[in-house]
Amino acid sequence: MRPVKSHDVCVVGAGYVGLVTGACLAEIGHRVVCVDSDPRKLKALKAGKVPIHEPGLDEVFRRVVKSGKLAFAGSVVEGLKFKGRRAEVVFIAVGTPPRPDGSADLSAVEAVAETVAKHMAGYTVIVDKSTVPVETGDWVSKTIQRFNKAGRLTTSCRTPSSSARARRSRTS
């Protein structure tokens, strides 16, 4: 299967959500770099090891790494311009762990949004896959706008697949 047009994609956070997203996008032909700040995870990925268990992922992972469609980087800045190629689409898939009071810790999402805003070099689509409270999508766009001093054009959006899945599981 081939996409209509292949794009340069940066996925920030190579956990369950980000690594699966990145591998699947690479499988359909996009050039993907997955960024993770965890040095041990990064080392494993670069050594060709899948550090999580997800059915079917190993096979896809091996194929796309071998074909050069999926690569790995340790920083968002590196991921935004990986081997001279500018990321046109950035997925934010970092964790949002619960704080002691039960609210989600959004600091990693905010840090990534700020870095992307400061370092993107042209029109960029920013897709938030991390779970954030209602209306935080706006907050991510506002963070991007606040730090986008160069005035780059951006589009920010969210993928509500978890709510779709929640709806499906409620109706099944």
Ligand X SMILES: NC(=O)c1ccc[n+]([C@@H]2O[C@H](COP(=O)([O-])OP(=O)(O)OC[C@H]3O[C@@H](n4cnc5c(N)ncnc54)[C@H](O)[C@@H]3O)[C@@H](O)[C@H]2O)c1
Cβ 16 to ligand X, closest distance in Å? 4
Backbone angles phi, psi at 134, to 5 degrees: -50, 140
24: tokens are 């699947």
3-state secondary structure of 51: coil
Number of residues that bind ligand X (CB under 6 A): 25
Q: Which is nearer to ligand X, 67 or 162 (CB)?
A: 162
* Residue 37 is a binding residue for ligand X (CB under 6 A): yes
Q: Tell me if 113 sits within 8 A of 93, measured CB to CB.
A: no
Residues whose CB is less than 8 angstroms from the CB of residue 17 and which lie 6 or more positions away in sequence, other chains included: 93, 129, 130
In angstroms, what CA-CA distances link 13 with 42, 106, 168?
10, 14, 26
36 binds ligand X (CB under 6 A): yes
The residue type found at 85 is R
Kindly state whether residue 136 participates in binding ligand X, applying the rule CB under 6 A: no
**Should residue 27 be labelled a site residue for ligand X when binding is judged by CB under 6 A?**
no
**Do 87 and 112 form a contact (C-beta atoms < 8 A)?**
no
Scanning the chain, the segments in alpha helix (DSSP H) are: 16-27, 39-46, 57-66, 76-80, 107-119, 136-147, 161-171
Among the listed ranges 26-34, 37-45, 61-69, 139-147, the one in contact with ligand X (CB under 6 A) is: 37-45
| Binds ligand X (CB under 6 A): choice among 32, 65, 70, 94 | 94
The nearer residue to ligand X, 48 or 97, going by C-beta atoms, is 97
Closest residue to ligand X, based on beta-carbon distance: 15
Interface with ligand X by CB under 6 A: which range of 60-68, 137-145, 147-155, 159-167? Answer: 159-167
Q: How far is the CB of 17 from ligand X (least distance, A)?
A: 3
Q: Kindly tell me which residue out of 108, 114, 118, 139 binds ligand X, with binding defined by CB under 6 A.
A: 108
The residue ranges that bind ligand X (CB under 6 A) are 12-18, 35-38, 41, 93-96, 108, 111-112, 129-131, 159, 161-162
